[in-house]
Each structure stands twice: as C-alpha cells, then as structure tokens.
Structure 1
C-alpha cells in the first residue's frame, strides 16, 4: 500500500480526498495534518463517525516526509514553504497555485516565490492535456477549478478561434472554502447571484498561460453548494463543426462527455466528469462546460494525478455517480 498523508485535511477538499481514498485499492490514508493539530476529523465532520476516524496532527515537515504520497490541500504560500523542504523526499500533489505558473506571472498575481527552483520540476496536472508529463513528475500542480473547466472547453478550439475570448464562469459557494467572508455569508448568497473580482481574478492568468489566449474572465457566485458552469464566447477564424472538433480531441477520454445540448451542473455534481457542449452562430462560437468544483476542480483531479504518478490507471477510485436528484 502507498502510505498517504493529507495536509489541510479539515477543509472541504480534504474531506473529499478522504472520501475518495477510502475506496482506493492502493492509497492508504496514513496521516492527517493541519496548521494547528489536536482536532479529530470525525469531530469536524460527524458524517465520518464510524467510517473513518483519525487525529489531525500539527504539520511537521519531518513527519510528512516519511509518507510515499502527500496531498497539500493548503493555501498558496503555505504550500511552497512545505514543498521547498519536501521535494525529493516524497511525491507531492499541490492544490495551491504555487507551482501552476511561471515565476513572473505568479509574482504579479500572488506574492514573491520562495521556491522558484521547483517551478521547473512541477507538472501542470490537467491529465487530458499534460498526462505524459504528470506520469514522470514528483510534483504536480493541481489546476484550479475555474481553469480546469475553462481550459478543457477551450483546448479543442485553440487553432480555430481568434485571440481574445470572453469567459463567464459561475461557481457554487464551496469553491470559496470554509472560512466565512462577506461574500459567502448565507444572507448575502441565498436567493442572490453576482459577479466578483471581474477581469482581474487570479485565475485569468492561469488560463492565459496554459492556452496562449487573451482572456476576459468574469467569475460569478451561484447560490448553490457545489458545481461550476462555464460559458465561453469566441470568434471563429475557420468554419468548423464544434461538436466534431470536441469529439476529435476527446473521443478516447473517459471523463470528458460531449453533449448535444447545453450542459447541467446536476449531472456532474459528485463526479470527476467534465461535460462539454459547443455550438456556433455564423463565426461566433459558444462553449459550455460543467464540473464539480470540489472534485474535478480539486480532489478527484488530485487523485487522478496521483494515480498517474504511481503508474496506476488514471480513473482508479474516481467518482462516477452524480448526486441526482
């Protein structure tokens, strides 16, 4: 069994990791770590009582380095401080943005990077595009939820569209994490719907760096717990059949489903799937994607990457049954 540690176990993505790994035939949850330690995971999430019970230890690099696989479900800056000490001692899947971008883009949108040497050692963990790199990597930068849904939608059309696309991205509230803020308060979100940080959102540079396209990115918050829908608008420079273009790229991808009508969050909530639809009006292209932000946009994608890193089938233990109804 692969001895596995989760750092940042008390967050939503940590919980989703636990749920997936409990059904994994090779990855064994051997330790949970957090910034403080001392709590028990079943006390934080009573749904785990009688299913999985464990103490959350205070993060300690020497202890963490003893495990074969480490998931870092921690914020940016915290992650790179750990990776700087852990790299070369274990295999790492990092949920933060710390290793997703080149140094200039990262420092322009986040903070000074304290571990630039390992930027060259990381692989961007979007398997449908970077699978072969992930297989050889000891450090995978797990993509953000917005970039995952957007890049998977854009990728088949990069050669067919003009530079400059508009991305209208809508996410459930769980994407903001557990910490309460003015924009994630129940009274603010219930029966409400609004854009936040339009155009300047950090994920816009991640999308641009990976696709080479200029992006106008507008994220919006839906009054739902989980799920994400992205609508992309672009101008075609070649006459193509959009659904055929999608099928040409993703025909053999198990976790990409091509739809013949606009896609719905409910059909992917609780799964690793990304559902995609596309249509054109003259030379204008509409691309529509949905994912579960906590799974395909975080935890199940992290497990898919770990599967590849250890030479297992990519889809091993990944959730396939949606939360319907």
Structure 2
C-alpha cells in the first residue's frame, strides 16, 4: 500500500480526497493534517463508521516519516510553505493551491511574493490530457484551478485556429468558494440569485492565459468573467471566439473528437452540455459549434472533483505509476 497524507483535510476538497482514497486499492490514508487537531468524523459525520483518523496540526517531519505521497489542500500561499520543506525528501507532492500553477511574475501579480521559486521551476502543471508524460516523471504537481481546467480543456483543441480575442463566461457552484463564512456565500445571498464577480480581473484569467498561450506563435487575449450560481457543485463554461479565415469552415466536433480520441474522461457531446451530467464524476463534457467563423465552446465539470480532488487523484496515480483512472468517480447523481 502507498502511504498517503492529506493536509487541509477539513475542507470540501479534503473530504472528496478521503472518499476516493477509501475506495482506492493502492492508497492508504496514513496522515491527516489541518490548522487544528481533532478527529476526522467530527468534521464530516458522513465518515462515521467508514474511516476515522486523528487530525493533527501539519508537521513536515511527521509527513516525511509517514507518507509516500501527500496532497496539500491548503489555501493559496500556504501550500508553498509546506511544499518547500517537503521537496527533496522523497515524498511526492500534489498541491491543490495556486502556488505552483503559473510563472513567478503572474503569481506575484495576483497573490504575494513567491517563497519557493526553485519549486516553481520544477513543478509540472497537472492538466493530465496535456501534460501526462511530464506528470509521470514529476515529484511536485501543481493541480490546476477549476475554472482553468474547464476553460482550457474546451479551448486548447482550437488554440491555433483562433484569432486574438477569446471571451470566457464561466459559472460555478457555491462549493468553489470554500467552507469559510462570508456574506456573499450565505444562503440568503445566493438562493434564487446569480452574480458575476471580479469580472475581467479574476486571478484565474492569468492561469488560463498562460497555459493557453504556452506554445502559440500568436498570443490570444483572454477576457474572463466568473459567476456564482445557487448550486452545491458543478461548473459550466461558455467560451466565444473568432476562427482564422483558413479554419472558418471547420466542424468543431470533429476537431474535438480527434484531439481527445484516446481520452476516457473527455466526452464530446452533440448538444450543449449539462452540469447534472458531470456532477459527482471526473468527466469533462464538451460541445462546440461554428457559425460563419464564430465559435462557441461549451464545457462542464464538477468543480470539486475534476476541478480539484479527482484531478489530484489522477495526477497522484500517474506519479506513483498506477493506472490513471484508478478510483476516479464515473457515475454521478443525475436525478
């Protein structure tokens, strides 16, 4: 068995990681860390009688002695503090924060001075369909954000066909805001409501732009507007752009099918996608249409799973030499 730790286990993504690790034939939860101590089932009553483990205040030396692999489900800026102490110890790291996802310049533009520039250079961006071979040989994985995952998986097949501007209209369920209490996520604020936040300035704009433009000769300007919708989980993204003249007659569904022909967890739809079809699963569903050279790309994921925890498990499987699909959820709650 591979000894696995989760630091930041008391959050929503921590719970999803626990659920998959319990079902995993090769992973064993050997360490649970959080900002305060306690017992796992006291944080999540659904785990009573299923799994219980003492939650400890995170300690790098104890992680090194008890874990072969650790998931860091910590707030941004906290992940790199612990990762910098674990790097080089032999413990494989999957970091779910933003701390290793983008260049130092983009990170410091959106967050704070980076504390581990060398780790930033060594980290591999964990978008599996694009970086699978690099992930297999990595020791530190930067698990992508939920909005970038859903947006990039839709856009990347068309990246070299697009003109210079792309507009992304994204909508996420409330769990993306985390467990912390804030007035904007109170039931009375979100019920029967929808609102945009950080339009055109959201920090995920730079993550999407950086990884979309990574290998392009002509840079694409990304305009990104996220919205909060009154759902527990799920994400729907609509991306709009113009095709270059030589691609104005393409069949976008054929492009998607070819690009993702060997990908089990990408489903190409023949109609606009639905959040209910992916909620509770690792799938990303994608649809696209071309109207006189104008393209609309519609993608959907579960923000807690494909946008965080199940993507982290897929990355962990790869870096530990296990079949990528092991323990990934494939049937959700569609009723």
Which residue number in structure 2 is paired with residue 259 of structure 1? 269
1:214 equivalent in alignment to 2:221: yes
| 1:229 Cα offset (Å) | 0.2
Which residue number in structure 1 is paired with residue 257 of structure 2? 247
Which residue number in structure 2 is paired with residue 307 of structure 1? 317
| 1:310 Cα offset (Å) | 0.9
Separation in structure 2 between the aligned mates of residue 148 and residue 196 of structure 1, nearest angstrom? 19
| 1:214 Cα offset (Å) | 1.4
Which residue number in structure 2 is paired with residue 182 of structure 1? 183
Q: Secondary structure at the match of 2:180?
A: coil
Which residue number in structure 1 is paired with residue 217 of structure 2? none
Q: Secondary structure at the match of 2:184?
A: coil
**Residue deviations 1:51-75 (CA, integer Å, cap 9, x gap):** 1111111111111122100000001
**Residue deviations 1:8-37 (CA, integer Å, cap 9, x gap):** 000000000000010101111111001122
Which of the residues 230, 241, 249 maps onto 1:223? Answer: 230
Pairs within 5 Å for 1:22-101: 22-37=22-37, 39-66=38-65, 67-89=67-89, 90-101=91-102
Separation in structure 1 between the aligned mates of residue 259 and residue 110 of structure 2, nearest angstrom? 31
Separation in structure 1 between the aligned mates of residue 332 and residue 122 of structure 2, nearest angstrom? 35
1:268 equivalent in alignment to 2:281: no
Q: Secondary structure at the match of 2:163?
A: coil
1:236 equivalent in alignment to 2:257: no
| 1:176 Cα offset (Å) | 0.5
1:318 equivalent in alignment to 2:315: no
Q: Secondary structure at the match of 2:115?
A: coil
Separation in structure 1 between the aligned mates of residue 221 and residue 57 of structure 2, nearest angstrom? 42
Separation in structure 2 between the aligned mates of residue 234 and residue 182 of structure 1, nearest angstrom? 35
Q: Secondary structure at the match of 2:289?
A: strand
Q: Secondary structure at the match of 2:189?
A: helix
| 1:132 Cα offset (Å) | 0.7
- Consecutive unaligned residues in structure 1, runs of 5 or more: none
| 1:243 Cα offset (Å) | 0.2
Which residue number in structure 2 is paired with residue 17 of structure 1? 17
Separation in structure 2 between the aligned mates of residue 248 and residue 160 of structure 1, nearest angstrom? 15
Separation in structure 2 between the aligned mates of residue 276 and residue 324 of structure 1, nearest angstrom? 17
- Consecutive unaligned residues in structure 2, runs of 5 or more: 214-219
Separation in structure 2 between the aligned mates of residue 46 and residue 224 of structure 1, nearest angstrom? 22
Q: TM-score, normalised by structure 2?
A: 0.96
Q: TM-score, normalised by structure 1?
A: 0.99
Aligned length: 324
Which residue number in structure 2 is paired with residue 155 of structure 1? 156
Q: Secondary structure at the match of 1:53?
A: coil
Separation in structure 2 between the aligned mates of residue 131 and residue 33 of structure 1, nearest angstrom? 28
Separation in structure 2 between the aligned mates of residue 151 and residue 53 of structure 1, nearest angstrom? 37
Separation in structure 2 between the aligned mates of residue 311 and residue 84 of structure 1, nearest angstrom? 23
**Residue deviations 1:118-165 (CA, integer Å, cap 9, x gap):** 111100000000101100000000000000000000010001111210
Separation in structure 2 between the aligned mates of residue 164 and residue 55 of structure 1, nearest angstrom? 50
Separation in structure 2 between the aligned mates of residue 44 and residue 322 of structure 1, nearest angstrom? 23
